[in-house]
Structure 1
């Protein structure tokens, strides 16, 4: 029997440890250099994280800046559909297809391809929401909203012209604490952090109070409170309609407000908005850029409430942004989804994103990930509710699927809490 070497006497293991230490230090140096280069030209106001793409996998982000893993509950602002380096993408044929797609950026608006058609077919089959069967694809969630607004304005103004009321109907009714983007028309809707909208030109479109459920209240008081605030909001909406109804093209709402504070609505309220739009010749627009593609345990959050919008904006997890339009648009024959060049862009969405999205959609379908989001989200919610009962610092636990949140008493405690989680390997 050969002599047994102690840990310190094993030169091969010692050299391996030294190599690992050297490699880790080299990687930290590379990460530090990346940050130094970026800081010369870019405002670095995000996380001090440098992504190691190769070593990130599943729910784990590998941070090259600290040479450590993080459990990622952030997911690139909720835009990660299947995690890091899903095994599906290890298939050489899949890698070849993605690499080929990345070599050129196709102008999908004018040049068509089998890859584009395959994406549209897969998206329609896996994530389609009949009767919203007309699609527009574009790069960026804000531009998806922009084009939904343009389609609504076009529809309303053409109706007003046909009725002899003139070229009117471009206002969009929206809600306090809404976030719909940071470009053009969306600046007139977004009203969360004033740093994102102050001093930029905006329209004075009708803005109403936000009757979100107050989860900080005891269960016994919660329903009466939200019903009272829904009634107040309805009065505000009807006041604007009485005042300038023919000028209002649409009502837009996030089925759950994201940046505004994870604000949830009752299904009764969303159904009431549907009725108001039907009664007053307005379109209902749902912004599902953040809530869509399974996050809430249904493919689209609106499916929880049985409410069908006329226009729905999507993005983030889909990887490609855009708008779905329903049959009500066809009350105007030459609507924006039928008239050539009325809504358009150079790229018509991103071809490489479409190829990747096709594969992500197949994974979601094959692995039943929407149902998984419901099951795992329920576990998260129940565990947080239990924690809330034990730790008074945590309040207002709420969630639908994996769209889960809770409150802390003030920004200082929130920041301390966040850092504590980060230091323990959890990114939220």
Structure 2
């Protein structure tokens, strides 16, 4: 018996709570007995149907058979016995991961990659890439040049993380960033789509989009007259934490046009939406708009950014000049090995297509439940990323509690939304069970 397995599950929360804030779920994850989408609670001895997936970071459920491959297990153990600084010490294991990611996950035309641990720091380095690029475009190449007039345009309801730069753009719940000093960068109104129960758009989203573009244009006009200058426009293709707010392709195209006009980089935060979560490798591929820099993490296991040719308009960009962006560990070798195996399994089993199909199945079911019960509105989603709205936050929180009683794990987002984050390998039968439990919990 190991040190960990010798601990009584009933003691887990008490032990952890003695040394840190222990405000997580009132369950104890059993790493051995959890399987597929079923999270086993060692305390209760019960299985929960997991539509939480560790905040959309665990892509293929628990104990996928493909992770029991002996070669993979040996490689994983070998990597776990050492924690090299991958930014400076390269290994065969790292090379295998980089080649797999660049070949099967990164779209063609994006030749630059940077790896780091943590989604916030992925976004932060996307922003640093843009700042360096814009400064050099303005002829500021001396490292002592003043660049404090460079800013990032971002959007209401955005969540980009809790680190230094990202806190200045995160604006969901105030407890995430309140009482921490922040930059006052331009915050643009967010033209999210609202849907009826048949999937039709019900709000005047075109007018909202026009307003957002006008706000960007007005800020840019001031910059032309000596004001602050936009280095990047940063947006999540779906504003997940902010309420699973979706955007039309037309709006994303408008942002692309603005960035080209303003000589700014179009940066996307795909930390939650990327790595096949939408049924495609990247959510931006649904919009038909090519960004300049994309931040990723969560399901990918490894966080970081990839960038396209616009960055190369500056010769000594951050992907060329040593030490401009870096970290000690450059992500984590164990995560790289696991990520490469996930990529293999996703490609071999065509889990991207499965994700798209299960998303359509659950979305259709959510619309039916909404019509039958009237419990919620605005069902929406793509692939593994699904959500509904309740009348207010209290009703939403009560619904999450009822889902928990049905042994279904869900998540809140925004002021009154409930979101589901399903595994990419969820089966048709398991998706039906998700809907059964949502329906049982729909009303008190």
- TM-score norm. by structure 1 comes to 0.90
Deviations 1:298-356 (A, max 9, x none): 11000001111100000000000000011111111011111001110000111110001
Pair 1:355-2:333 in alignment: no
Q: 1:172: Cα distance to partner?
A: 0.1
Pair 1:155-2:155 in alignment: no
Cα contact 1:160–1:168 (8 A) shared by 2: no
Cα distance in structure 2, aligned partners of 1:67 and 1:162? 62
Distance 1:178 1:93, change over 3 A: same
Aligned equivalent of 2:182: 202
Deviations 1:7-51 (A, max 9, x none): xxxxxxxxxxxxxxxxxxxx9981121110011111122211210
Pair 1:309-2:291 in alignment: yes
Distance 1:70 1:349, change over 3 A: same
Cα contact 1:274–1:309 (8 A) shared by 2: yes
Larger of the two Rg values belongs to structure = 1
Cα contact 1:116–1:351 (8 A) shared by 2: yes
Segments of structure 2 that go 5 or more residues without pairing to the other structure are 411-444
Cα contact 2:197–2:367 (8 A) shared by 1: no
Q: Report the more deviating stretch, 142-151 or 155-164.
A: 155-164
Cα distance in structure 1, aligned partners of 2:398 and 2:251? 36
Out of 229, 250, 260, the position equivalent to 2:208 is 229
Aligned equivalent of 1:264: 246
Cα contact 1:295–1:401 (8 A) shared by 2: yes
Deviations 1:375-420 (A, max 9, x none): 0100000011111111112111000112110011122222221121
Structural mapping, 1:35-50, within 5 Å:
35-50=13-28
Q: 1:271: Cα distance to partner?
A: 0.7
Cα distance in structure 1, aligned partners of 2:38 and 2:200? 40
Segments of structure 1 that go 5 or more residues without pairing to the other structure are 1-26
Structural mapping, 1:300-379, within 5 Å:
300-379=282-361
Q: 1:62: Cα distance to partner?
A: 0.3
Aligned equivalent of 2:434: none
Q: 1:220: Cα distance to partner?
A: 6.8
Cα contact 1:28–1:66 (8 A) shared by 2: no
Q: 1:91: Cα distance to partner?
A: 2.2
Q: 1:100: Cα distance to partner?
A: 1.2
Distance 1:218 1:377, change over 3 A: closer
- The alignment covers a number of residue pairs equal to 401
Cα contact 1:141–1:316 (8 A) shared by 2: yes
Aligned equivalent of 2:121: 143
Cα contact 1:296–1:402 (8 A) shared by 2: yes
Residue aligned with 1:252, SS: strand
Cα contact 1:161–1:167 (8 A) shared by 2: no
Pair 1:213-2:193 in alignment: yes
Aligned equivalent of 1:181: 161
Cα contact 2:195–2:201 (8 A) shared by 1: no
Cα distance in structure 1, aligned partners of 2:384 and 2:8? 34
Cα distance in structure 2, aligned partners of 1:335 and 1:305? 27
Distance 1:411 1:350, change over 3 A: same
Pair 1:290-2:272 in alignment: yes
Structural mapping, 1:86-101, within 5 Å:
86-101=64-79
Cα contact 1:187–1:197 (8 A) shared by 2: yes
Deviations 1:164-190 (A, max 9, x none): 997465200000000000001001000
Q: 1:162: Cα distance to partner?
A: 5.6
Aligned equivalent of 1:249: 231
Cα distance in structure 2, aligned partners of 1:149 and 1:275? 19
Residue aligned with 1:161, SS: coil
* Two-structure CA RMSD over aligned residues (Å): 1.9
Pair 1:126-2:96 in alignment: no
Q: 1:129: Cα distance to partner?
A: 1.3
Pair 1:411-2:389 in alignment: no
